[in-house]
Chains A and B, each alone.
Chain A
Amino acid sequence: MSMHWYVARRVAWAVVATYLILTITFGLLAVAPGDGQTAFAFQAATEGGDVDEARETFDEITGRDEPLLTRYSNYMVNMATFNWGWSFTRNQPVMDAIAAAYPYSLMYAVPATLISIVFGYAIGLYSATHQYTLTDYVGTFTAFFGISIPNFWFGIMLILVFAVDLGWLPSYYQTGRGVWTLANAKQLILPVVVLSTGAIAGNMRYSRAEALEYVHADFVKTARAKGANDWRVLVRHIFRPAMVPLMTILVADILGLLFAGAYITEVVFQIPGLGLLSYRAIIQQDTALVMATTLVPVFIAIVGNLVQDIAYTVLDPRIDYGDR
């Protein structure tokens, strides 16, 4: 099977998966008892409006009085055209709310990703080439610490030590301090540390295991016999083949880890990014916003998986396309 055919099939599969997920979500929405109508009516009542009228308005906006099939096709068309609905708690289209929120998520997620890749791979490679040394044990222990510590509790403990006791860093995020300022950097330190700890541990384990496969490989021994120095062996003969699986793991797994981790990090540090937006929407029963903010990471995961699989086939000549 040619590579193009494989890629085409894989892309088609991603489209099918997206379609299925949207359908399942619609199904859940259709059968669920609580979908925000009460909250909408309650909000109308607190603002001095009529409750029954609000309920009708809600039904009209969401199209709940129409037959199921019409609702389904409307829903699908709206989803496909990025017309994802209206957030009544924020009085703006859902898309605008997301557009306003995501820069805040990027502000700490990008540094955290970079740090976790650089440190994770560096420590992992070092551990693999210096197996059973003190540094290797320290590294392994750090990895266990990183994957075991609950993100939210780690965040709270860091706040307790560095914000409450020592007073060095602010305990929660405040907007309006600019992007490239020292004040902003200071309040991003703790979120970046929390988010990257778990990811560093994950990367480290992967890269150590992956590099170990090549440390004792014949071609590495040959290179050493021919007089290549340690650095050259590490970079040219171990790191290069290990890169392929590491690159691809990075895309999907790190995305997933960061998204779930980011959710909790934003709630702990009150960063007004996608996670906090979604969390507030859940608490305030803003259905359209809940759906949009949870579906965005799901779609990113699908695209991530797609990119991972394609990258794998492009980067590794040994892959056989016939075997998926």
Chain B
Amino acid sequence: MAADTQPDTGASERFEDVEWDELGGLGLPRRTQVLVVTALAYVAAVAYDVFVTDDAILSGTNWLFVLTLLVGVFFVVWPLVENRRLTAYYWRRFKKNRAAVVSAVYLVVVFVVGTFGPLLLAKPELNVLAAYQPPVFLSVDSTVPTTCVGQSADGLCHGTWQYPLGTTSDGKGIAKLVVFGMRVSMQVGLVTMLIVVSIGTAVGTSAAYFSGLVDEVLMRYVDIQQTFPTFFLFLIVTYLFKPSLFLLITIFGFLGWGGIARLVRSEALQRREESYIRAAENAGASDGWIIRRHLMPNVSNTVITAATLLIPSFILFEATFAFLGLTDPSTPSWGQVIASGRGDLDSAWWIATIPGVFLFFTVLAFNFVGDALRDALDPRSEGEA
């Protein structure tokens, strides 16, 4: 693994004679070194934000989002770049599914635009004069908008490039709202997925590895958690406390990992019987080491697939609650825009339609990609559709 720390040993010296401690121990691979530095920097930045400054640099949700991105870079992107051959192999299998490739491209665009767009664009603002503008290339009866921003001809108001996707009933540009909504959807989907996957994998592998009482206690707890439908729990909590995106992510993240834990447990139970685990045990590896270095990497393909298929459900939940008006109204979510267009279906159909199209395609794309990942990553699924 660590090619750069290879010791300069003489030809006569045998492997057993090497004084590893003199050579600075086993040495940490570069990824781990960068990871530790980044983690410390992240903790310091969060601590500074929480304890030192009064005005928050980033909101809680945004901090979690940054954390998710860092985890993604270190545990997905970096290993893929390091193991080019394996990456190429996965890619060959993945690209067989054309719908999934198109979906992946779409998701990358949504991700990039959603992450960086809100940094460049100003927040959509109220502008009563620009209410009900139709999307560009389309027109609507001039009685619908109070004033027509674009050209007005033959009793029809035409859309302009100033508002490429039209405006809402309070004159906010839908294109901008869609961009801001991309960030909300990506944040909810990815951050919740990170929490769910972390806890689910830790619990699942521990239960399978330790078995006995630990397994019983953990899995009984999962049973209780799974019987309580998260949808209704969130309804109760959002009613009793002030709703926010952070609350939604926490509730779904910390109470939604039961399924992943069960899946990981059943997968890890099989892995636990493999001879490499026995070998590691006999070589004196600690429990934590075996779980981290031998169990987790070998269940990761299952986890990644399940995680990709979980993301769309979180995005849908967020949109649903935003539609019901049970989230923070200042969060510009797609669900909220759809709700605001509900009353104007007969005059301004585009308000409810356009954000929904984006929502639908985002969820569909995640489902396609998850399905293709299962085929690409799981060696046992070969030959099956």
A interface residues with partner B (beta carbon < 8 Å) = 13, 17, 20-21, 24-25, 28-29, 32-35, 131-132, 140, 144-145, 147-153, 156-157, 159-160, 164, 171, 212, 256, 259-260, 263-264, 267, 278-279, 282-283, 285, 287, 290-291, 294-295, 297-298, 301-302, 305
Partner of A148, one of B223, B239, B324, B364: B364
A-contacting 9-mer, from B81-89, B142-150, B284-292, B345-353: B345-353
Partner of A25, one of B236, B320, B353, B367: B236
Is the beta-carbon distance between B353 and A157 smaller than 8 angstroms? yes
Interface 1/0 per residue, B334-361 and A, CB below 8 Å:
0100100010011001001100100110
Considering the complex, give the chain B residue whose CB is closest to the CB of A13: B223
Q: How far is the CB of B345 from chain A (nearest CB, A)?
A: 5
Which residues of chain A are within 8 angstroms of B349 by Cβ–Cβ distance? 160, 164
Additional A-B contact list (19), CB under 8 Å, known A164-B349, A282-B239: A21-B227, A33-B241, A140-B385, A145-B364, A147-B367, A148-B312, A148-B360, A148-B363, A150-B316, A153-B319, A156-B342, A156-B352, A159-B345, A263-B231, A264-B320, A294-B235, A294-B236, A298-B233, A301-B229
Considering the complex, give the chain B residue whose CB is closest to the CB of A131: B385
Which residues of chain B are within 8 angstroms of A29 by Cβ–Cβ distance? 240
Q: How far is the CB of B315 from chain A (nearest CB, A)?
A: 9
- Report how many residues on chain B are interfacial, defined by Cβ distance under 8 Å: 43
Is the beta-carbon distance between A150 and B356 smaller than 8 angstroms? yes
Contacts A21-B228, A164-B345 given; does A132 touch B240 at CB 8 Å: no
Partner of A264, one of B241, B242, B324, B384: B324
Query: Which interface residue of B227, B233, B316 has the most chain A CB atoms within 10 A?
Result: B227
Is the beta-carbon distance between A156 and B229 smaller than 8 angstroms? no
Which residues of chain B are within 8 angstroms of A153 by Cβ–Cβ distance? 319, 338, 352, 356, 359-360
Query: Which interface residue of A17, A132, A150, A282 has the most chain B CB atoms within 10 A?
Result: A150
Is the beta-carbon distance between B360 and A294 smaller than 8 angstroms? no
Q: In the complex, how many residue pairs between chain A and chain B have their CB atoms under 8 Å apart?
A: 117
- Chain A interface main SS type: helix
Is B326 at the interface (CB under 8 A from chain A)?
A: yes
Is the beta-carbon distance between B239 and A290 smaller than 8 angstroms? yes
B interface residues with partner A (beta carbon < 8 Å) = 223-224, 226-229, 231-233, 235-242, 312, 316, 319-320, 323-326, 335, 338, 342, 345-346, 349, 352-353, 356, 359-360, 363-364, 367-368, 371, 384-385
Which residues of chain A are within 8 angstroms of B240 by Cβ–Cβ distance? 28-29, 32-35
Which residues of chain B are within 8 angstroms of A33 by Cβ–Cβ distance? 240-241
Q: How far is the CB of A164 from chain B (nearest CB, A)?
A: 5
Is the beta-carbon distance between A294 and B232 smaller than 8 angstroms? yes
Considering the complex, give the chain B residue whose CB is closest to the CB of A302: B227
Which residues of chain B are within 8 angstroms of A297 by Cβ–Cβ distance? 229, 232
Which residues of chain B are within 8 angstroms of A21 by Cβ–Cβ distance? 227-228
Is the beta-carbon distance between B342 and A17 smaller than 8 angstroms? no
Considering the complex, give the chain A residue whose CB is closest to the CB of B349: A160
Considering the complex, give the chain B residue whose CB is closest to the CB of A290: B239
Give the CA-CA distance A13 to B231 in the complex, in Å. 22
Which residues of chain A are within 8 angstroms of B346 by Cβ–Cβ distance? 164
Q: How far is the CB of B110 from chain A (nearest CB, A)?
A: 14
Give the CA-CA distance A64 to B229 in the complex, in Å. 28
Give the CA-CA distance A140 to B385 in the complex, in Å. 10
Is the beta-carbon distance between A267 and B223 smaller than 8 angstroms? no
Which residues of chain A are within 8 angstroms of B326 by Cβ–Cβ distance? 282
Which residues of chain A are within 8 angstroms of B227 by Cβ–Cβ distance? 17, 21, 298, 301-302, 305
Give the CA-CA distance A149 to B223 in the complex, in Å. 29
Contacts A144-B367, A297-B229 given; does A156 touch B320 at CB 8 Å: no
Give the CA-CA distance A13 to B316 in the complex, in Å. 32
Is the beta-carbon distance between A290 and B324 smaller than 8 angstroms? no
Give the CA-CA distance A58 to B296 in the complex, in Å. 53
Is the beta-carbon distance between A260 and B231 smaller than 8 angstroms? yes
Give the CA-CA distance A112 to B112 in the complex, in Å. 39
Which residues of chain B are within 8 angstroms of A285 by Cβ–Cβ distance? 239
Is the beta-carbon distance between B364 and A144 smaller than 8 angstroms? yes
Is the beta-carbon distance between B367 and A156 smaller than 8 angstroms? no
Give the CA-CA distance A137 to B43 in the complex, in Å. 49
The 30 listed contacts between A and B (C-beta, < 8 Å) are A17-B223, A28-B240, A34-B240, A35-B240, A132-B385, A144-B364, A144-B367, A148-B312, A148-B360, A148-B367, A150-B359, A150-B363, A151-B320, A152-B319, A152-B338, A153-B356, A156-B338, A156-B342, A156-B356, A157-B352, A160-B353, A212-B384, A259-B231, A285-B239, A294-B235, A294-B236, A295-B232, A298-B228, A302-B227, A305-B227
Which residues of chain A are within 8 angstroms of B385 by Cβ–Cβ distance? 131-132, 140
Is the beta-carbon distance between A28 and B237 smaller than 8 angstroms? yes
Which residues of chain B are within 8 angstroms of A131 by Cβ–Cβ distance? 385
